[in-house]
Amino acid sequence: MREVNYIWNISIESAYRYLEAEDHFKVIDIFEQRSSFGGLWNYSLQSSIGKTEVPQTSPFQPLEEPIWTVNTAQDSNAREENHDLEFPTPMYEDLETNLPHFLMEFSDDHSLRKNKLYPSRDSTLQYLKSYADDVRHLVKFETQVTEVLQETRNGRDSWQLRYRWLRSGTIEMSTYDAIVVASGHYSAPLLPEIQGISQWNSVYPEIISHSKVFQRPQGFKNKRVLVVGCSASGYDISAQIASCCKSPVIISVRSETPFEPMSSSAICRPEITEFLSPRHYNRAVRFSDGHIETDIDAIVFCTGYFYSYPFLSSLLPQFIGTGDRVQRLFQHIFSIDHPSLVFVGLPTRVVPFRNAEGQAAAIARVWSDRLHLPSKLEMLEWEKSALELGRKKQFHLLKTPEDLDYYDGLIEWVMQAEGYGQGKLPPKWSKKERWVRENCAEILKAYKQRGEARHDIRTMEELNISFEQDHPREA
């Protein structure tokens, strides 16, 4: 029987169920620095307080400090029970999922379907809180993991975990046989170095921001706005800003994206190559095609985040190098050097809840000794092969159908475990689910085009989109 620790985010809500189903783990502790469930789906009114460095090019950021509200005391050791703590998240007021509810949900809880086709952030948060309620007794809320140390005992890894009770400031340590890191990767914004950006920002210090601190579009009313990036967040944020900014909103796109601007009052430009000197231009940037835009009132960088885990910084070999991936991992999950430390939820452009289930099923079977990892050499070869595909800077980015194949591949591997039928097993993707995933951009576009009427739409069929009509023989 083994003792397992979790460092929390939404992935743990499913991971616990798969580990618990193995009946192999004596102690399961979960550490959560927030006051409640939901991870990054918690919306913080304090998010706009944080100011991103310009540029922000290092993944080696310190642990986030909580923001205390309601008459907080100056001394962190004197927090009263009615004081609330918050951590900034990338949630914004009118965020909706970019996946339909029946694809977004966990495989064993379909209650998300009672909401509109693309649920709001609040509906998604309530769904997660309800799903996680049965693990509440295992969670140490308002505790922040500050350091993880590894040592070897009797030929096996042992993990010492140092954590801080945020309300009292008390430091404690616990020892575990295994660690699940599921703290997400949306805390350290990436804001790239571009020629002239530092000088430009020093002259115009309130213009450049990162999507992490975006909350609502009203602050951009009648402003000339440039949005940098058009992945999921850039796509949605630019559409919201376009509703009230000075038309058109300008969108700078560096590479191919599955999304395209929703608003007719939007124009696309290529990547920015230079922030032009304030001595010669008024709030101007130059794009790679030579075009210059001037008189810009606001720039929102939707350029993503670094992978950053400051509490793992003492471990060797280091997991973080340039911050664009987590190093020395097998299948985006297992530490190749210390397989009793795993990550859940690293891949991007995936269906997050189901992806977490597939990863959790693999972890549970490996740690209960029913499924065996390849040799260390073979795991290193897997990582090397993935890097050789030219994905070094997008190692964890799994574009469709790669995301679907990755998940189904995990399930096929999991099904090879000894004692078939034991434990909990998530289903592989159905043909309909694959079709929906492969057509997500078109379905979302049709949904958004309904405007405010979209809030009453519950099914794809209401958009005149149907897998059954397109595939009558497979329905």
Residue-by-residue DSSP string for 410-460: HHHHHTTSSSTT-S--PPPPPHHHHHHHHTHHHHHHHHHTTGGGGGG--SG
- The dihedral through the CA atoms of 353, 358, 362, 364 has a sign that is positive
The pLDDT of residue 213: 92
Closest among 40, 407, 401 to 233, alpha carbons compared: 40
3-state secondary structure (DSSP) of residue 101: helix
- Strand 285-287 vs strand 139-141: parallel, antiparallel, or unpaired? unpaired
The pLDDT of residue 153: 86
Count how many residues are written for the chain: 475
Closest among 359, 358, 305, 306 to 333, alpha carbons compared: 359
User: Cβ–Cβ contacts within 10 Å for residue 155, how many?
Assistant: 5
CA 335/CA 457 separation, integer angstroms:
43
Q: Name the token pair of 11.
A: 């992935």
User: Cα–Cα distances in Å, from 386 out to 333, 350, 360, 393?
Assistant: 14, 17, 22, 11
Are the CB atoms for 43 and 122 separated by under 8 Å?
yes
Q: Hunting for tokens 């997400």 — which residue is that?
A: 184
3-state secondary structure (DSSP) of residue 40: helix
Instruction: State pTM to two decimals.
Output: 0.93
Helices (H), 88-207: 101-104, 121-132, 197-203
- The region that residue 123 occupies, defined by phi over 0 for left and psi between -120 and 50 for alpha, beta otherwise, is alpha
- Strand 285-287 vs strand 292-293: parallel, antiparallel, or unpaired? antiparallel
**Per-residue confidence of the chain (475 residues) as pLDDT tens digits?**
577 766 656 667 788 899 999 999 999 999 999 999 998 999 987 765 557 899 999 999 999 999 998 644 444 444 555 678 999 899 999 999 999 999 999 999 999 999 999 999 999 999 999 999 989 999 999 999 999 999 998 889 999 999 999 999 999 999 999 999 999 999 999 999 999 999 999 999 999 999 999 999 999 999 999 999 988 889 899 999 999 999 999 999 987 665 565 556 889 999 999 999 999 999 999 999 999 999 999 999 999 999 999 999 999 999 999 999 999 999 999 999 999 999 999 999 999 999 999 999 999 999 999 999 999 999 999 999 989 876 777 899 999 999 999 999 999 999 999 998 899 999 999 999 999 999 999 999 999 999 999 999 999 999 999 999 878 776 5
CA 285/CA 295 separation, integer angstroms:
9
